[in-house]
């Protein structure tokens, strides 16, 4: 946690000096968007060193997040978000969030996706907690949440977050599949 809150140039300096096992442990523990930011600051050789010992899914996530043009939603987003199924009960959803929460940027709003990962709604945590155990997510979700696409300009992302007073905004691909979120602190 301390490492990812250091200035990016200081992170790069440490990444270049740390033993490989230490770097792997730190990068694995970082939030997805922060490790992608670090990755983009390194040379090709340093990038290969950084991801060489990471779990394949972590390395793939870093590559995916760092592949987007600067100052667009794709470059700002993180893959650390919580999802729920519309046909899940509130009790099951709360249990799922307990499992998902430790690795997520925020769970104040969870995103509801279909079987193909299309964004179909969102649920606020307080709404979920106040629902009866048997209530289905589709009964309490807000359908068609405000979202942005991968290429939405950073300024427009920030304006939408401010206008709708959001902690995060979902990012969808051209097919409407949820691919990440941009948190309010990363939008500015």
Q: Domain check: are 101 and 84 in the same one?
A: yes
Binning pLDDT at 50, 70 and 90, where does residue 166 land? very high
Q: Residues near 6 by Cβ (< 8 Å), separated by ≥ 6? A: 14
Q: Domain check: are 106 and 162 in the same one?
A: yes
Q: Which domain holds residue 20?
A: 3-67
The CATH number linked to 133 is 3.10.580.10
Q: Domain check: are 94 and 146 in the same one?
A: yes
pLDDT averaged over the chain?
Answer: 91
Whose tokens are 């950084």? That residue is 50
Q: What is the tens place of the pLDDT at every residue in 127-147?
A: 999 999 999 999 999 998 999
Domain-ending residue, one of 67, 88, 107: 67
Q: Which stretch of DSSP H or E encloses residue 105?
A: none
Q: How many Cα atoms within 13 Å fall on the side-chain side of residue 180?
A: 26
* 142 to 37, 165, 183: CA distances (angstroms): 32, 15, 19
Rounded Cα–Cα distance for residues 188 and 184 (Å): 7
Q: Domain check: are 35 and 110 in the same one?
A: no
Whether the per-residue pLDDT at 36 is higher than 90: the answer is no
Q: What is the tens place of the pLDDT at every residue in 74-116?
A: 988 988 889 999 999 999 999 999 988 877 777 889 999 999 9
Pair 169, 157: CB distance under 8 Å = yes
Q: Domain check: are 59 and 93 in the same one?
A: no
Q: Domain check: are 82 and 145 in the same one?
A: yes
Q: Domain check: are 140 and 80 in the same one?
A: yes
Whether the per-residue pLDDT at 62 is higher than 80: the answer is yes
């Amino acid at each position: 946690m301390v490492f990812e809150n250091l200035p990016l140039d200081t992170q790069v300096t440490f990444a270049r000096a740390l033993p490989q096992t230490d770097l792997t442990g730190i990068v694995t523990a970082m939030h997805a968007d922060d490790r992608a930011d670090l990755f983009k600051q390194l040379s090709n050789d340093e990038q290969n060193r950084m991801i060489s010992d990471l779990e394949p899914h972590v390395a793939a996530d870093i590559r995916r997040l760092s592949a987007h043009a600067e100052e667009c939603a794709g470059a700002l987003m993180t893959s650390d978000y919580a999802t729920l199924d519309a046909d899940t009960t509130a009790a099951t959803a709360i249990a799922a969030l307990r499992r998902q929460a430790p690795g997520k940027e925020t769970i104040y709003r969870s995103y509801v996706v279909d079987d193909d990962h299309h964004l179909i709604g969102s649920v606020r945590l307080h709404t979920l907690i106040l629902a009866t155990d048997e209530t289905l997510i589709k009964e309490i979700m807000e359908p068609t949440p405000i979202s942005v696409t991968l290429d939405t300009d950073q300024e427009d992302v920030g304006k939408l977050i401010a206008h709708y007073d959001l902690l995060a905004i979902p990012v969808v691909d051209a097919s409407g599949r949820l691919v990440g979120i941009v948190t309010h602190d990363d939008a500015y």
